[in-house]
């Protein structure tokens, strides 16, 4: 969803226009980030409908508060991810008393149009991984999603999560170790 | 096996394990695309944001009507009070 056109205006340029009242320019930012925010929320909730609902809320909230947005050297995407992170945290808190999200909801993760048999095998393999992933603390889930789904560098993740790059590297290492430990425990 | 060799082997084993987890995550975690219908519908709603916000919050409309009516009544009262005061 990222706009790779070099002539496309940068986020800062668009934000100046949007905060000056030219709200129609918000659609440029929307097109640029809707896929990434959706992905992030989808992996955190495991449900297509919840992901759509929360993505909608993220962009409504962002648009509603855009006039108060101040560029403090943090990318706009980091601001959006923080809104998404807070909304997902609220969603988990509200849902904790209700039910666990079915792992079957993750079936969309698999490639569209694949052969049914390979899809089924991949679903079973993925279920295990997603199950383990969802048992991790929220910040570790966030790190893994940003790294592998969003394909961001440690430096970019550090900005989004409001930590130093070193802290992210260390957290990443510990997360992989814990995932490995979980994996070996299940094999035993 | 000396302690140093044992330490090096354990370290290599840990590194191999981490690399295999990393490879597994790279292979299995793929980006998903939101439905195009959802994307375009939300874009339309965001484009019409002020109108949509009234639709989403119908009470906002009522509050605005109440506020305008209150201001109108106050100005009428003020006008009559001034008129009466001037006459007396």
pLDDT, one tens digit per residue, over B6-47 is 656 666 677 777 788 888 888 888 888 898 999 999 888 888
pLDDT of A2 > 50? The answer is no
- A131 in a structural domain: no
Beta carbons of A34 and B22 less than 8 Å apart: no
The mean per-residue pLDDT over the stretch A157-167 comes to 91
pLDDT at A64 over 90: no
Range A89-116 average pLDDT: 61
Is A26 within 8 Å of B46 (Cβ atoms)? Answer: yes
For the domain that residue A67 is a member of, what is the CATH number?
Answer: 1.10.1740.10
Confidence of residue B69 (pLDDT cuts 50, 70, 90): very high
A3 falls within a domain: yes
pLDDT value for A52: 92
Task: Determine, yes or no, domain membership for A74.
Answer: yes
Q: Which residues of B touch A125 (CB under 8 A)?
A: 28
Residue A79 domain boundaries: 1-101
The answer to whether position A119 is within a domain reads no
The pLDDT value given to residue A181: 72
Residue A83 belongs to a domain: yes
- Single pTM value for the model: 0.70
Cβ neighbours of A183 in B, within 8 Å: 21
- What are φ and ψ of residue A112, in 5° steps? -80, 145
Determine the residue among B13, B29, B42 to mutate to test chain A binding: the one whose Cβ has the most chain A Cβ atoms within 10 Å: B29
Greater model confidence, B18 or B5: B18
Reading the block at residue A93, the tokens are: 């808190």
More confident site: A183 or A22: A22
Q: Which two tokens stand for residue B81?
A: 């009070």
Mean pLDDT of A129-148: 86
CA distance A168 to A171: 5
Q: How far is CA A160 from the centre of its chain?
A: 11
Residue of A nearest to B50 (CA): A64
Residue B60 structure tokens:
């906002």
Contacts of A27 in chain B (CB under 8 A): 43, 46-47
**Token pair 């070996």 in the structure block, residue:** A184
Tokens of residue A130, six digits: 């997603």
Higher-confidence position of B81 and A7:
B81
Per the structure, the count of domains in chain A is: 1
- Total beta-carbon pairs less than 8 A apart between chain A and chain B: 78
The Cα A133–Cα A144 span in angstroms is 8
Judged by CB atoms closer than 8 Å, whether chains meet at B46 and A63 is answered as yes
For residue B54, the model assigns a pLDDT of 53
Beta strands in A66-183 (DSSP E): none
Whether residue A116 is contained in a domain is answered as no
Give A14-51 pLDDT, tens digit per residue: 888 888 778 788 888 899 999 999 999 988 888 888 99
Q: What ipTM, to 2 d.p.?
A: 0.71
**Residue A3's pLDDT band (cuts 50, 70, 90):** very low
The residue that leads in pLDDT, B5 or A101, is: B5
Distance from CA of B56 to the nearest CA of A (A): 11
Q: Looking at the domain assignment, is residue A113 inside a domain?
A: no
**Could you tell me if residue A27 is inside a domain?**
yes
């Amino acid at each position: 969803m990222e706009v790779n056109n070099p002539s496309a205006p940068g986020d800062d340029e668009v934000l100046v226009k949007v905060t000056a009242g030219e709200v129609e320019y918000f659609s440029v930012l929307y097109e640029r980030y809707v896929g990434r925010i959706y992905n992030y929320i989808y992996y955190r909730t495991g449900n297509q409908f919840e992901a759509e609902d929360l993505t909608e809320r993220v962009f409504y909230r962002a648009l509603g508060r855009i006039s108060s947005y101040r560029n403090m050297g943090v990318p706009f995407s980091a601001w959006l991810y923080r809104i998404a992170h807070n909304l997902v945290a609220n969603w988990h808190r509200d849902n904790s008393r209700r039910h666990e999200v079915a792992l079957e909801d993750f079936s969309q993760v698999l490639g569209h149009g694949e052969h049914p048999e390979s899809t089924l095998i991949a679903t079973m393999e993925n279920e295990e991984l997603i199950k383990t992933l969802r048992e991790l603390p929220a910040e570790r889930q966030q790190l893994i999603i940003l790294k592998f789904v969003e394909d961001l560098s440690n430096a970019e993740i550090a900005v989004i999560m409001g930590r130093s790059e070193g802290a992210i590297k260390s957290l990443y290492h510990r997360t992989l170790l814990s995932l490995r430990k979980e994996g070996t425990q299940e094999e035993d | 096996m000396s302690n140093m060799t044992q330490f090096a082997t354990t370290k290599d084993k840990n590194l191999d394990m981490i690399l295999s987890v990393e490879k597994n995550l790279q292979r299995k975690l793929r980006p998903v695309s939101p439905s195009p219908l959802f994307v375009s519908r939300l874009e339309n709603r965001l484009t019409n944001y002020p109108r949509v916000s009234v639709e989403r919050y119908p009470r906002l409309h009522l509050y605005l009507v109440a506020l305008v009516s209150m201001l109108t009544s106050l100005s009428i009262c003020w006008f009559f009070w001034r008129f009466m005061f001037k006459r007396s």
